[in-house]
A = this chain, B = another copy of it.
Amino acid sequence: MTDQLPDRPGLRTVHQLRALTVDLDLLAAAFAQRNRLHPTDLRALIALLDAARTGTAATPGLLGRELRLNSAGTTAVLDRLERHGHLRRTRDPHDRRRVLLEVTEQAVALGETFFGPLIADTVALVDGLSPAELAAVEGFLTSMRTLVARHTD
């Protein structure tokens, strides 16, 4: 970005990666708008679907921490999702201060329409790679994550 030297492999890759993240953001934004969801609501839905998939108990507090929202903002997100029928709130019988969040079938279906085809295509793409290619791609992604993590402080 701050380097003008054209066509060094490293810079080309940086550019490709950045373009890809921008495209993914645009895709998410387009999907959100088409389904009358705010970007934050979509992020929340993704987090809740993840939790449901891994069997983790989701609560407003956890969600708010994940989305970097304070409690008031979290309540507002949940109100919107509940109003749109993507979410059910139930009191935790073991700790009656807590609220358990349950995504509805409708929300799961919505998530599948969004992620399903893209994931399927990506899996097909990855399955078409040779073992060496797969190793290179996975190594790159892993290295990038630790690298980004090191710059977040």
Contacts and interface: CB of A to CB of B under 8 A. Distances in A.
Interface of A: 1-4, 8-14, 16-17, 19-21, 23-27, 29-30, 49-51, 53-54, 56, 66, 68, 108, 111-112, 115-119, 121-127, 129, 132-134, 136-145, 147-152
A132 B129 CA distance: 13
Given A126-B9, A127-B10, A145-B20, A1 B138 contact: no
A27 B145 CA distance: 11
A148 B17 CA distance: 13
Given A10-B126, A118-B151, 20 more contacts: A1-B49, A1-B111, A8-B123, A10-B124, A11-B119, A13-B126, A13-B137, A13-B138, A16-B138, A17-B141, A20-B141, A20-B148, A23-B149, A23-B152, A25-B25, A27-B148, A27-B152, A122-B144, A125-B143, A129-B136
Q: Copy number in this complex? A: 2
Main secondary structure of the interface of A (DSSP, over half): helix
A129 to B, nearest CB: 7
B152 A119 contact: no
Contacts of A12: 138
